[in-house]
Amino acid sequence: MISIKDVYKKAGVDIDKGNAFVDAIKPHVRKTHRPEVLSSLGHFAGLFQLDLRKYKQPVLVSSTDGVGTKLKIAQALNRFDTIGIDLVAMNANDLICLGAEPLFFLDYFATGHLNLSMATEIIKGITSACQEINCALIGGETAEMPSVYAKDDFDLAGFIVGIVEKDKICQESLVHPGCKVIGLPSSGFHSNGYSLVHHIMGQKNLSLSDRVPGTKTSLGEALLVPTPLYVNPLLEAYQKHTICGMAHITGGGLIDNIPRILPPHCQVQLHQDRWKIPPVIQWLCDEGDISQEERLRVFNCGIGFVVMTPQKGHENLLKQLQKTYPTAALIGEVAPRSPGETAIKIL
């Protein structure tokens, strides 16, 4: 007689393998736990006890994001040690835009067929990133869905919760004409615009083994460089300096992300000659004949994060950020904006 478990396995879902996966990642997950974590991996939900003695008016801040079609690059190269870092970074970098400290993270991993070694590599990337920013991985979900995903296909999503004092929230009302705009360098495409990257590669018959011109790096290696975790340097800077606004440059590039933190009466003027575009972005944009406007709207174009600060004291903030990011630069300023003017002006 065939057991229920065997029937389910023949349908494409292996319960034993799922349980083995949870057991395999427990030691890695445990390393991320902060003292506030009250639960262990494998329960129905995660428990996190806030120490309210540390806050006067605590506000919880949440965000969710994924890695997008960058997953296809990892899949093609059979390399899965970096996209977990991307997943945490895409969420945590959004959180810091409001001045919030990350508290805990959850992941969702869906696949057509659970590959233990691949899934474990992904989780190890997630846990290493969580450890770096002192964010507890307190739960997640692994879904094996052969009727939805092809055998080797998978998707990733992440969910993060942080905390900030109500009177310390970094919001657009603080931005004003005269603010200086500091740009932190990107490491490449991060986790955005990969659908256009795939399109360009297909049109120009480019291979992941091709060398990026002017470098010793293959296209595949360049495309898998993980998104930086900007959290720790920016939290430190936020505590020591006056910061009026912060923007994570994700999908929508510089053109669409910076306006998200601008009041209607403000315009950001950017000086393109003040930063360098990573060779891989420059090359693929040239190969794909991507216009300047579209480049700035789809890709980060070399700026992964933007910080706005009052003119007075901006040099000290820039110097502090350059300790971690030597190529951080003053890339623009905030000017008055008249009705009908665009939020971003490229100089």
Q: Which domain-ending residue is among 144, 168, 192?
A: 168
Task: Show pLDDT as tens, one digit a residue, over the chain (347 residues).
Answer: 455 557 556 556 555 656 666 666 667 667 778 788 887 766 778 888 898 888 999 999 999 999 999 999 999 999 999 999 999 999 999 999 999 999 999 999 998 888 888 888 999 999 999 999 999 999 888 888 888 888 788 999 999 999 999 999 998 888 999 999 999 999 999 999 999 999 999 999 999 999 999 999 999 999 999 999 999 999 999 999 999 999 999 989 999 999 999 999 999 999 999 999 999 999 999 999 999 899 999 999 999 999 999 998 899 999 999 999 999 999 999 999 998 899 999 98
Residues 154 and 229 both lie in one domain:
no
Bridge-partner residues for 182, per DSSP?
A: 307, 330
206, exposed or middle or buried, with CB in 10 Å at 0-12, 13-18, 19+?
middle
Residues 153 and 240 both lie in one domain:
no
Residue type, 334: V
Residues 148 and 187 both lie in one domain:
no
Residues 145 and 284 both lie in one domain:
no
pLDDT at 116: 84
Q: Which domain-ending residue is among 168, 195, 225?
A: 168
Q: How many CA atoms lie within 13 A of 256 on its CB side?
A: 12
Residues 237 and 116 both lie in one domain:
no
Residues 273 and 294 both lie in one domain:
yes
Degrees to nearest 5, angle at CA 334 with 330 and 338: 155
Encode pLDDT of 178-211 as tens digits.
Answer: 999 999 999 999 999 999 999 999 999 999 999 9
Report the b/e string of 142-175 with b at 16+ CB within 10 A.
Answer: bebeeeebeeeebbbbbbbbbbbeeeeebebebb
Report yes or no: 251 and 193 within 8 Å, Cβ to Cβ: yes
Encode pLDDT of 237-272 as tens digits.
Answer: 999 999 999 999 998 999 999 999 999 999 999 999
Q: Which alpha helices (H) appear in 228-332, and where do they start and end?
A: 231-240, 253-257, 279-287, 292-298, 314-324
Residues 271 and 188 both lie in one domain:
yes
- Residue 94 domain boundaries: 4-168
CATH at residue 279 = 3.90.650.10
What is residue 238's three-state secondary structure? helix
Encode pLDDT of 319-334 as tens digits.
Answer: 999 999 999 999 999 9
Residues 67 and 201 both lie in one domain:
no
Global pTM? 0.91
Evaluate the CA torsion angle 88, 249, 101, 91 in order and state its sign.
Answer: negative
The number of folded domains in the chain is 2
Residues 186 and 125 both lie in one domain:
no
Residues 225 and 342 both lie in one domain:
yes
CATH at residue 110 = 3.30.1330.10
Report yes or no: 280 and 219 within 8 Å, Cβ to Cβ: yes
Residues 177 and 308 both lie in one domain:
yes
Residues 9 and 151 both lie in one domain:
yes
Q: Which domain-ending residue is among 148, 168, 188?
A: 168
